[in-house]
């Protein structure tokens, strides 16, 4: 199914894959293996912008080091996933000898879900000594994923397992597990705050890099295994699968609104300087609890259309 969708996109955008002509070298600590990193191949929708970026950044130096990580999990109503993900990610980070904290950014209300806004708020509550963030979906279990610091934004995987087989993930999808240095995150103004329920916040995040002159990268060999979950457009505000017409219509309306919001941003009608981590509003912190390296922030969001 994933390949079918990918091929359909390529049919609509016949020149979607551009030749990778950015050279990459490594400036790394002796005890760290180099990541197998390449430049993301992006759609022809932004072809001119990407080509200009490549001319300006024809050579990239990858710097890796042992630095402080804040791993952020946007979360609501996924207890069964969290029980699997948390021990797995803790084992991975400990094995890689990473200095880390984990922030569970839990939406604690009955409003529509806002993944991007949760991640922005969590970033503001990160340890001030943190050097980089990893934004990680709770339903994505890592295999051979390297969480060491990198001085560029990296999608930390290339393959995703659905059902029984791993498939190459579309390079234009910018979610799942994203590593980003703190300085880049704040320079691009974090995530947009106005994508409700599901869809397009990851596309927006990708374009924020391009508009600010950053070339996104991806790790070519790492994999994520996707835990089973229902389709986003069928989930109600309590995390249950909904079949009632009202909920399905609300989700469809929000999805369409997100597409319109993204279209305006892509065309330059709206600006990332006016929507991001620098102007988060309409939320309340209900509680913050700390258990060792894990911080849980319960956040009440106020929906604004």
- Render pLDDT for 32-90 as a digit per residue (tens, 0 to 9): 666 677 777 775 556 666 667 776 766 788 888 899 999 999 998 888 999 999 999 99
- 46-50, 138-142, 299-303: the lowest-pLDDT one: 46-50
Residue 247 confidence (pLDDT): 67
To the nearest whole number, what is the mean pLDDT of the chain?
83
Other Cβ atoms less than 10 A from the Cβ of 62: the count is 17
- Residue 112's pLDDT band, with cuts at 50, 70 and 90, is confident
Residue 268 confidence (pLDDT): 83
Q: Give the mean model confidence (pLDDT) for residues 161-185.
A: 87
Residue 252 confidence (pLDDT): 82
Compute the distance between CA of residue 102 and CA of residue 169 in angstroms, rounded to an integer.
25
pTM: 0.85
Full domain range(s) for residue 112: 2-301
Residue 233 confidence (pLDDT): 56
- Residue 286's pLDDT band, with cuts at 50, 70 and 90, is very high
Closest to 174 in 3D by CA, of 151, 196, 199: 199
Residue 98 confidence (pLDDT): 95
Q: For 204-217, how does the pLDDT look when each residue is reduced to its tens digit (9 = 90+)?
A: 999 899 888 888 88
Report whether pLDDT(148) > 70: yes
Report whether pLDDT(302) > 90: no
- Could you please report the per-residue DSSP string of 1-66? -HHHHHHHHHHHSTT-SPP---EEEEEE-TTSPPP-EEEPP--GGGHHHHHHHHHHTSEEEEEEE-
Q: DSSP 3-state helix, strand, coil percentages of the chain (rounded to 5)?
A: 30, 25, 40
The CATH number for 14's domain is 3.90.550.10
Residue 5 confidence (pLDDT): 40
Residues 6+ apart with CB under 8 A from 43: 9, 13, 16, 172
Other Cβ atoms less than 10 A from the Cβ of 88: the count is 14
Residue 127 confidence (pLDDT): 94
Residue 90 confidence (pLDDT): 96
Residue 19 confidence (pLDDT): 45
Q: For 254-279, how does the pLDDT look when each residue is reduced to its tens digit (9 = 90+)?
A: 888 888 998 898 888 888 999 999 99
Residue 86 confidence (pLDDT): 96
Q: Is the dihedral of CA 107, 113, 115, 116 positive or negative?
A: negative
The alpha carbon of residue 26 and the mean position of all alpha carbons in its chain are separated, in whole angstroms, by: 24
- 80-94, 101-115, 240-254: the lowest-pLDDT one: 240-254
Report whether pLDDT(113) > 60: yes
Q: Give the mean model confidence (pLDDT) for residues 16-42.
A: 63
User: Which has the higher per-residue pLDDT, 201 or 22?
Assistant: 201
Question: Inter-axis angle of helices 245-266 and 201-211, to 10 degrees?
Answer: 10
Residue 3 confidence (pLDDT): 46
Q: How many domains does the chain have?
A: 1
């Amino acid at each position: 199914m994933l390949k079918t969708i990918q091929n359909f996109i390529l049919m609509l955008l016949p020149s979607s894959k551009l030749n990778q002509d950015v050279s990459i070298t490594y400036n790394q600590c002796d005890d760290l293996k180099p990541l197998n990193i390449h430049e993301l191949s992006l759609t022809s929708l932004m072809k001119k912008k990407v080509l200009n970026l490549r001319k300006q950044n024809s050579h990239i130096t990858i710097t890796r080091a042992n630095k402080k990580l804040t791993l952020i999990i946007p979360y609501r109503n996924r207890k069964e996933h969290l029980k699997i993900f948390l021990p797995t990610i803790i084992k991975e980070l400990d094995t890689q000898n990473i200095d880390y904290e984990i922030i569970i950014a839990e939406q604690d209300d009955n409003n529509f879900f806002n993944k991007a806004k949760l991640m922005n708020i969590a970033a503001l509550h990160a340890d001030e000594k943190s050097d980089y963030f990893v934004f990680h979906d709770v339903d994505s279990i890592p295999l051979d994923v390297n969480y060491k610091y990198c001085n560029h934004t990296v999608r930390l995987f290339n393959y995703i397992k659905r059902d029984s087989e791993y498939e190459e993930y579309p390079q234009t999808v910018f979610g799942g597990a994203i590593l980003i240095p703190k300085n880049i995150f704040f320079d691009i103004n974090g995530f947009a705050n106005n994508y409700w329920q599901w869809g397009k916040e990851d596309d927006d995040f990708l374009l924020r890099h391009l508009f600010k002159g950053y070339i996104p990268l991806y790790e070519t060999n790492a994999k994520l295994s996707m835990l089973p979950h229902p389709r986003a457009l069928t989930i109600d505000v309590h995390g249950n699968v909904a079949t009632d017409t009202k909920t399905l219509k609300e989700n469809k309306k929000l999805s369409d609104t997100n597409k319109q919001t993204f279209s305006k941003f892509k065309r330059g009608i709206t600006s990332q300087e006016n929507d991001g981590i620098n102007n988060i509003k309409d939320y309340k912190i209900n509680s913050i609890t700390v258990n060792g390296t894990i911080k849980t922030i319960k956040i009440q969001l106020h929906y604004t259309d």
